[in-house]
């Protein structure tokens, strides 16, 4: 069950924090490996967030979600993450007079958790400059199209209407533009002649999950570096 506390306009749905270390070697008696502390921002059902969480539980990703932030109290992620033992913070835009105040609330909510990075998974708000600058090249997003084609909303439908034969997903770092940040990783699926937005979305979703898991694994292993517009992967 959820426990909710209100602090100003910020609603804290849960107050538990998960583990941030893991044992390696010697049957769990080896050195402690510090995991990256990550914030998950989500507005919708949270399926990408769940895929990432499961990969963390399997120790495939050397990171842990220490807080979940959503802009809707009834977002699917709230119920999906019930039982994960991770604090869930609801910050609704309608509770603030300005975007600047809303952004300040986001930063205030992040402050106690000392996050190393932010993962956007269906978060339907454009982040403000102060937040982006505070976490430069440490905010990841996934988009359901092969950027720079078809940015913004309805990437699947844009691909169908454009008549492309292949589309896919893109994991990228977030900058101040609309889906314009440096590209980390992309994967593809075919666009079939009778595809609808729903059928294409369904085909692409498992590819999104796998791509985001791999991109976040690289980020948490410090295998990504940014040179201008180019993301270098060091394996």
**Selected catalytic residue, list 2, 72, 143, 156:** 143
Is residue 125 a known part of a binding site? yes
Q: Identify whether the C-beta of residue 88 lies closer than 8 Å to the C-beta of residue 81.
A: yes
Report how far residue 235's alpha carbon sits from residue 231's, in angstroms, rounded to the nearest whole number: 13
Instruction: Give the 3-state secondary structure of 192-211.
Output: CCCCCHHHHHHHHHHHHHHH
Residue with tokens 């905010």: 139
Is residue 46 a known part of a binding site? yes
Is residue 141 a known part of a binding site? yes
143 is catalytic: yes
Q: Identify whether the C-beta of residue 147 lies closer than 8 Å to the C-beta of residue 196.
A: no
Q: Which two tokens stand for residue 132?
A: 């982006």
Is residue 31 a known part of a binding site? no
Is residue 124 a known part of a binding site? yes
Is residue 99 a known part of a binding site? yes
- CA nearest to 49, candidates 81, 14, 13: 81
Which residues does the annotation mark as catalytic?
A: 143
Binding residues: 46-48, 99, 124-127, 141
């Amino acid at each position: 069950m959820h426990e909710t506390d209100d602090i100003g306009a910020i609603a804290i749905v849960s107050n538990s924090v998960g583990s941030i270390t893991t044992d390696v070697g010697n049957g769990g008696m080896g050195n402690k490996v510090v995991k990256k502390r990550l914030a998950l921002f989500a507005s919708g059902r949270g399926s990408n967030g769940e895929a990432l969480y499961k990969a963390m539980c399997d120790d495939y990703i050397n990171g842990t979600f220490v807080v979940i932030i959503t802009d809707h109290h009834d977002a699917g992620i709230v119920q999906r993450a019930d039982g994960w033992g991770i604090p869930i913070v609801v910050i609704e835009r309608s509770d603030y007079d300005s975007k600047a105040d809303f952004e300040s609330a986001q930063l205030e909510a992040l402050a106690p958790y000392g996050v190393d990075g932010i993962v956007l998974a269906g978060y339907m708000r454009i982040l403000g400059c102060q937040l982006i600058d505070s976490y430069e090249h440490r905010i990841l997003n996934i988009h359901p199209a092969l950027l720079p084609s078809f940015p913004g909303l309805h990437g699947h439908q844009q691909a169908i209407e454009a008549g492309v034969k292949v589309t896919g997903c893109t994991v990228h770092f977030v900058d101040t533009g609309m889906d314009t940040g440096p590209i980390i990783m992309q994967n593809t699926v075919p666009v079939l002649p009778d595809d609808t937005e729903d059928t294409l979305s369904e085909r692409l979703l498992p590819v999104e999950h796998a791509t985001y898991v791999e991109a976040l694994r690289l980020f948490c292993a410090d295998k990504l570096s940014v040179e201008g517009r180019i993301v270098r992967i060091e394996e």
